[in-house]
Chain A
Amino acid sequence: MNSYEKWVAFQTILVKEVRRYLRIWPQTLLPPAITMTLYFVIFGALIGSRIGEMGGFSYMQFVVPGLIMMAVVTNSYSNVVSSFFGAKFNHSVEELLVSPVPNWVILAGYITGGVSRGLAVAVIVTCLSLFFSDLSIHNLPLTVGIVLLTSVLFALFGFINAVFANNFDDISIVPTFVLTPLTYLGGVFYSMELLPDFWENVSRLNPLVYVVNGFRYGVLGVSDVDVSFAFGMLALFTAVAFGYCMHLLNTGKRLRQ
């Protein structure tokens, strides 16, 4: 395939992905809007008003970046895992595998689809947060960079999950038992300074800590971790995950016999 044909193939995969999640928007775009509004109301407005300041900001301002990232992580992951596993399950993935589309284009198409849903949800949640709190961006390039890298990373994780999943239970196990707990323990609702030393050190093993704090720094200018280290770790994890996804596609593991 020449470059133009590859571009057409990439666009085709991306358009198919976007069309898919827009078609089922009550399952893809509406739930995070409702869930995050409830978080804003309950944790930000009702409980937050009694907590007072955290990290030099009102509790509502403090939790908003973490909640946006929570939505980005969950939706980027879910989009790719459900779409690619669905294609595996109904064998429509064969349409792509038999075609001349290079593996990196297949991966790029699915990941960009996941990123687009992550960003769409981020925009929705951010707009909703404006009803509850003022939002000013401390460092725009860093904020955008962290959102994009996070979205790509978790879309790649979703792809890996989809390749190894054998049934629909397998695609809900990781989000339910790994992603959600790590997000809650990643400092969305609290500053790590509140934790005893031991648990603070344990928390630093959680990659979501870097995602949440990196984004919080971009928005508010405060972070519990070194931001350049957080950005570097995200970039490293993304490169490794991309390499592993390409390995899975090139060897055809769980896709070709």
Chain B
Amino acid sequence: MTAALSIRDLSKVYSNDVHALRGISLDVQEGDFFALLGPNGAGKSTTIGILFSLINKSGGKVEVFGIDTDKDFPGAKKHIGIVPQEFNFNLFEKVEHIVVTQGGYYGLPAELAKERAEKYLRKLGLWEKRNDRARELSGGMKRRLMIARALVHEPRLLILDEPTAGVDIEMRRSMWEFLKELNAAGTTIILTTHYLEEAESLCRNIAIIDEGSIVHHSSMRELLRQLHTEMFILDTRQEVDQDVEIPGFPCKRVDAHTLEVVKDKDQDVNELFAALSQQGIDIASMRNKANRLEEMFVSLLS
């Protein structure tokens, strides 16, 4: 299968001598839903900026569906749809004009661009707003407008830089559903996000970047398999003592009715319940403390 994106030894040194990328390499297969994660300043935006052609690389090679961007960047760009982090449209333009105009930049005749604009504005719930100026839209609507704009030329590879930043939970969930549908229909998607729950729920493969280098690159399943412990929050029926101990399970009393318990991956949950029972503690409810990817992310970067 052709790689939708292949990056080899990509480096970027800014004019102030900051080494933003130190020769990173990664592959994203066609049809994948891929997460590129990293803390602020890790090099994610630089990587994305190079793919957007808004940042000139210092070295290395980028191929999009086998097209070398050094030899034919316009040819590669035809396959890429871009949803940047910051709003980058003219706020005084009408919603439909923004999408149709972008279609024109990709060489779509006006009729086809209008047809596509209607298709994606409807799918993203913006058709009723098509004659509004972009500045009149809410933050979530502006984000969806950028997605509609990125899809007007029906790219094979969609790159989203923090697409749900500042979007409310309901809207975020509906955007996830839309992206899942798009991916199921064959569009390769690369996503950067700070919401690790988002990456865990959507993405099949992942790369974590830190200080300009890839520190992890594998499938999501493989990454989560490396997580050795899990932390649970237990709500107890009785009040628990200040110096409570559960043999075999490190724990911490949060308040009179709440405990945090760490369970090793090869320990059984039944063992935990048995140990609690021996201490005379009845459990009303239990839940994971944090999402698993977040724990892994922190451990990889620490």
Binding site for B on A (CB under 8 A): 1-2, 4-6, 8-9, 11-13, 15-16, 86-87, 90-92, 94-102, 252, 256-257
Contact = CB atoms under 8 A, between A and B. Distances in A.
A95 B107 contact: no
Given A92-B90, A98-B54, A257-B49, A9 B105 contact: yes
Contact of B56 (A4, A92, A257): A257
B174 interface: no
Contacts of A94: 52, 54, 84, 88
Nearest to B100: A12
Given A1-B74, A97-B53, A97-B54, A92 B106 contact: no
B88 A99 contact: no
- Of the four ranges (under 10, 10 to 19, 20 to 34, 35 or more), the interface on chain B belongs to 20 to 34
B101 interface: yes
A197 B2 CA distance: 74
B135 to A, nearest CB: 10
B104 A98 contact: no
B105 A256 contact: no
B91 interface: yes
Contacts of B88: 90-92, 94-95
Contacts of A98: 52-54, 77, 80, 82
Nearest to B52: A98
A252 B49 CA distance: 13
Nearest to A7: B107
A12 B93 CA distance: 14
B90 A8 contact: no
B102 A95 contact: yes
Contacts of B110: 8
Contact of A9 (B54, B75, B84, B107): B107
Contacts of B109: 8
Given A92-B88, A92-B90, A100-B78, A4 B107 contact: yes
A257 B14 contact: yes
29 contacts: A1-B74, A1-B107, A2-B107, A8-B104, A8-B109, A9-B104, A9-B106, A12-B105, A13-B105, A90-B88, A90-B90, A90-B91, A91-B87, A91-B88, A92-B88, A95-B89, A95-B105, A96-B105, A97-B53, A97-B54, A98-B80, A99-B106, A100-B74, A100-B75, A100-B77, A100-B106, A101-B74, A256-B55, A257-B56
Contact of A91 (B49, B86, B104, B107): B86
A95 B53 CA distance: 11
B70 to A, nearest CB: 14
A252 B56 CA distance: 8
Contacts of A2: 107
Given A6-B107, A8-B108, A257 B52 contact: no
Nearest to B55: A257
A256 B52 CA distance: 10
Contacts of B53: 97-98, 256
Contacts of B74: 1, 100-102
> Majority SS of interface residues in chain A?
helix
Interface in B21-76: 49, 52-56, 73-75
B84 A256 contact: no
Q: Which of B14, B89, B107 has the most CB of A within 10 A?
A: B107
Contacts of A257: 14, 49, 54-56
B150 to A, nearest CB: 9
A252 B55 CA distance: 9
What 4 A-B pairs have minimum CB-CB distances, sorted nearest first? A5-B107, A12-B104, A100-B74, A99-B105
A256 B104 CA distance: 22
B14 A8 contact: no
Contact of A8 (B73, B86, B107): B107
A4 B49 CA distance: 28
B190 to A, nearest CB: 15
A252 B53 CA distance: 10
A16 B102 CA distance: 11
A9 B110 CA distance: 10
Nearest to A101: B105
A11 B14 contact: no
B171 to A, nearest CB: 23
B56 A99 contact: no
Contacts of A252: 56
A16 B54 contact: no
A253 to B, nearest CB: 11
Nearest to B14: A257
Nearest to A6: B107
A28 B250 CA distance: 73
Given A12-B104, A97-B52, 13 more contacts: A8-B108, A9-B107, A90-B88, A91-B86, A92-B89, A92-B90, A94-B52, A94-B84, A96-B105, A98-B82, A99-B102, A100-B73, A100-B78
Contacts of B101: 12, 16, 95
Contacts of A12: 101, 104-105
